[in-house]
Chains A and B, each alone.
Chain A
């Protein structure tokens, strides 16, 4: 396969005074399924439009296959963009839609039809070429949009939240479908989403964005297990945040003085903390356990509510104004439900908790 590495080199994009993308540095390899994950308005679409060529960066460079893309129009780049609302042409048939890029390149009617049928087979929708776009279901439209984008074999497919219009069931089905298509055609997928489930299940690597800044880039399990900023820790997956000041550090373990008492956790990335530095300790709900006796790394809290969810039970507790969530696997033994207001002692292993410098967190 040709080298079609996408390189973002100090890319900033501004609208007037407003910085939509701030100094993005990133390398996306050929054939990778790469996702940008971030809340609404964080600059994902802006960055994608810049890669596809609909806008140029205010500062920095976009390189594809080692070539600077400045001034190269969207039609001249080896990319194809799938729009947030797909942008299928409603007055053309499905086959005409899929073959439109070939029509533009002057392919004969017969070749166009042949390629459209090939692509319809590829997306497992044979024989719908003569249907109107309005006759398709949401998931079918989705796949037709992918087929159209793949018609002229781009090296890089850019997808802007393509599943956001679908209902939950279909969305989950389409995740697997998209991943399968990507592996079949071997094209680089650059995928935008604000749904972490999508990003984590489909991607080889994920870039987490917040307010125009790329906070962390890594494989899904790394992003989940070893977040590098408070934002990533709070945005990806459920997490409890306990804020406090650094009391001391021994090797990889940091102890914080917090309103809930002294607690310890891993120092993210082997970072050194100064005593007194403002930090947050993050511990996942499934890593918090209920214990009998008080000891190191335990928290005395009051139960607020609990919800039985079949496989697990979710508890919401409170300690000195800090909200703590627990998720307990149900073992099958019918435990007597706790009453709200009950005193709990929560414990966790320090190596399961992560200490990160204080910073903006994702809003609920």
Chain B
């Protein structure tokens, strides 16, 4: 709280009390109205019974752990392998997509920061950004078309004789992973670019002068500098991928359900907002726990990500 007060005072000193008050109130309203209150009501929901409207506020409307118990154990008392399995699969898939994005975006960001010059760098950035003017649903359907049984990739593959029956990329989740990996590519490239750009080219040349091959230059010089960027990009991509709904809905194979789709079903098909809320809270907590764990493992602090 002391920190906030000194920050406020120095801000007020610089911009005047009126401006400072406005900013403070606007930020507080933003945080409380749009972030804290909805999440709190979700949390509250998740601990309640799914009651008909007439009984809400009545004697049966008590707090309960039933929704969380249901996630763990289902209707009977065996482990709820279905939902837990879907959650695990979602997390693993999100990790996979995140790693894929790191592998695609690190070279792009490095080239953008250090090899591309002037016009070609600008063209690269434009080429990366413009496709995102197309909205998410349309992009997902475009991937469906691309990867479909009669889609471009199958036609080319068949035409060139690379394979002789249409490959079902949708069922194999190739379309889903490609779509998700592409969806958040910018959120990975720009933090890495930001971090890598600060690198002095002479350091790379110095390492080369000392005989380091390119992979060691990257491993020892570039990657450590890129690490905070990779961490912040990976956090965003992981969180957004595990929370994605449209892409799994459109591109997912018939057998693979994303955990968000389960949440969606509780809210919509089953009209059980309480259980849906509990599932959403579980997803959020598990993701936060996982990200925190990974930051421990890779020795990244939250402060570094904020840079």
Q: Which of A74, A80, A89 contacts B221 (CB 8 A)?
A: A89
Main secondary structure of the interface of B (DSSP, over half): helix
Q: In whole Å, how far is A92's beta carbon from the nearest beta carbon of chain B?
A: 8
Query: Which of A83, A88, A89 contacts B205, CB < 8 Å?
Result: A83
Residues of B within 8 A of A88 (CB): 203
Q: Are B200 and A100 in contact, with the CB atoms below 8 A?
A: no
Is B287 an interface residue, CB under 8 A from the partner?
no
Q: Does B206 contact A (CB under 8 A)?
A: yes
Q: Which residues B20-66 have CB closer than 8 A to chain A? A: none
A87 at the interface (CB under 8 A from B): yes
Whether A104 touches B212, Cβ cut-off 8 Å, given contacts A83-B202, A87-B202, is yes
Check: B210 CB closer than 8 A to any chain A CB: yes
Judge whether B77 is part of the interface by a CB distance below 8 angstroms.
no
Choose one: B200, B208, B211, B225; the contact of A85 (CB below 8 Å).
B200
Give the shortest distance, in Å, between B40 (CB) and chain A (any CB): 41
Measured CA separation A74–B209 after assembly (Å) = 5
Contact A89-B202, Cβ < 8 Å, known A74-B209, A75-B209, A81-B209: no
The reply to whether the CB of B16 lies closer than 8 angstroms to some CB of chain A is: no
Cβ contact within 8 Å between A100 and B202: no
In the complex, A80 Cα to B208 Cα: how many Å? 10
CA distance A76 to B211 in the complex (A): 7
Q: A91-B225, A100-B220 are in contact. Are A75 and B211 (CB under 8 A)?
A: yes
Give the interface centre of A74, A148, A152 by most chain B CB atoms within 10 Å: A74
Chain A residues within an 8 Å CB radius of B206:
81, 83, 87, 89
Shortest distance between the CB of B124 and any CB in chain A (Å): 25
Q: Which of A1-58 contact B (CB under 8 A)?
A: 52-54
Q: Could you say which residues of chain B place their CB within 8 Å of the CB of A148?
A: 210
CB neighbors of B among A132-182 (8 A): 148, 152
**Considering only CB atoms, which chain B residue lies closest to A91 in the complex?**
B224
B22, chain A: closest CB distance, angstroms: 39
Interface size on A, residues (CB 8 A): 25
**Whole-angstrom distance between the alpha carbons of A53 and B210 in the complex?**
12
Interface contact B209-A104, CB-CB below 8 Å: no
A85–B205 CA distance with the chains assembled, in angstroms: 12
Q: Is B205 touching A87 in the complex (CB atoms < 8 A)? A: yes
For residue A101, CB closer than 8 A to chain B, the reply is: yes
Cβ-defined contact, B212 with A54, below 8 A: no
Is B203 a contact of A87 with CB atoms below 8 Å?
yes
**B202 and A104 contacting across the interface, CB-CB below 8 Å:** no
Instruction: Tell me the complex Cα distance, A274–B212, Å.
Output: 59
A101 contacts B224, C-beta separation under 8 Å:
no
- Cβ–Cβ < 8 Å partners of B202 in chain A: 83-85, 87
User: Which residue on B lies nearest to A80, using beta carbons?
Assistant: B209
The answer to the question of A110 belonging to the interface, with a C-beta cut-off of 8 Å to chain B, is: no
Contacting pair A104 B216 (CB below 8 A)? yes
Contact of A105 with B by CB under 8 A: yes
Flag whether B153 is at the interface (Cβ < 8 A): no
* Contacts A/B (CB < 8 Å), 30 sampled: A52-B209, A74-B205, A74-B208, A74-B209, A75-B208, A75-B209, A75-B211, A76-B211, A79-B209, A80-B209, A81-B209, A83-B202, A83-B205, A85-B200, A85-B202, A87-B200, A87-B202, A87-B206, A88-B203, A89-B203, A89-B207, A89-B220, A100-B207, A100-B220, A101-B210, A104-B207, A104-B212, A104-B216, A105-B211, A152-B210
- Using a CB–CB cutoff of 8 Å, the interface residues on chain A facing chain B are 52-54, 73-76, 79-81, 83-85, 87-89, 91-92, 100-101, 103-105, 148, 152
Nearest 5 CB-CB pairings of A with B: A75-B211, A87-B202, A87-B206, A101-B210, A83-B202
